Amino acid sequence: MQAKELVELAVDELRVKERELREELCRLRLRKGTMQSESPMKARHLRKDLARVLTVLHARHGLRKGAAES
C-alpha cells in the first residue's frame, strides 16, 4: 500500500482500513504463537501499512486543528 493511495481516501475509509490492519495483525500474532505463521515478513508489512494509515490520519487531524485555531 502506497501513501499516495491513502491520502486519497476519506477519513472513514482510513479508520476502516486501520481496523482491518489491526485485526489482521492480531490474527498473525495468534498464528505465530501456535507456530502456524505463513510468512514472517507479512507482519512487518502490516505494521508499516498501519503506521502509514495512522500518519495520514494524524496529519489530517493536525490540519483540521490548525485551521480551527486560525
Q: Which domains does the chain have, with CATH numbers?
A: 3-69 (1.10.287)
- CA separation for the pair 54, 14 (Å, rounded): 8
d(CA 66, CA 47): 28
Rg (CA), the chain: 15
Q: What is the pLDDT of residues 6-41, one digit of tens each?
A: 889 999 999 999 999 999 999 988 887 777 666 778
Summarize pLDDT for 36-62 with one digit per residue, the tens. 666 778 889 999 999 999 999 999 887
Alpha carbons 24 and 9: distance in angstroms, whole number = 20
